[in-house]
Chains A and B, each alone.
Chain A
Amino acid sequence: GQSLEQPSEVTAVEGAIVQINCTYQTSGFYGLSWYQQHDGGAPTFLSYNALDGLEETGRFSSFLSRSDSYGYLLLQELQMKDSASYFCAVLNTDKLIFGTGTRLQVFP
């Protein structure tokens, strides 16, 4: 079977750093993506890791360890607008499989 696990909710204050973990079990793994979705909005692409290591894009970074079937999204200098749901998604041979999502609440 295929499964992805993420924490259901994370809270943090403005300016802080938060890490959202994702562990996965899947066949035909190509890479791990991260998407952000605000309430009532559509998912938007944040990052993609095909190889082990850290990818940095502005305040957001994403990490992948293929041997551990594990990745994380790191959000730095949190802002109120970062309050949203964050999904890890595994790309396998013919589809993108999403996790259940992590709801991030940022407090002032």
Chain B
Amino acid sequence: DAGVTQSPTHLIKTRGQHVTLRCSPISGHKSVSWYQQVLGQGPQFIFQYYEKEERGRGNFPDRFSARQFPNYSSELNVNALLLGDSALYLCASSLPGQGFSWSEQFFGPGTRLTVL
């Protein structure tokens, strides 16, 4: 079975531009979460989507937005890029159901975003 896939793997943008990152969850997983990981730190929660609805949002500015499609894939959009947005962006999917499910997240390889 295919794992979580993300595209692109690497991306270089300049300040002020916008970016769209894509994620396809494991088949059967209806929840997708997005995380930002800066080098040397733990992943920071950005969004969780379940059944195409936003279920959770972390402490990120409104420049960050996301959506989930009917096939459960997801996009993360970041507008007006800042240098500080340079990071590894991780997508994770999990099984539907109770709270326990959210604890076991299956991560994709991530998209490395560099903002110049």
Contacts and interface: CB of A to CB of B under 8 A. Distances in A.
B48 A94 contact: yes
Nearest to B58: A95
B107 interface: yes
Interface of B: 33, 35, 40-45, 48, 55-56, 58, 90, 92, 99-100, 102-110
Q: Is the interface of B mostly helix, strand, loop or mixed?
A: mixed
A15 interface: no
B90 A43 contact: yes
Contacts of B48: 94-95
**Nearest 3 pairs between A and B by C-beta?**
A94-B56, A98-B42, A42-B107
A1 B92 CA distance: 24
Interface in A25-51: 30-31, 33, 41-45, 48, 50
Contact of B104 (A30, A33, A101): A33
A96 B45 contact: yes
Interface string A64-95: 00000000000000000000000101010111
A23 interface: no
Given A42-B108, A43-B43, A31 B56 contact: no
A31 B45 contact: no
B43 A91 contact: no
A91 B31 CA distance: 15
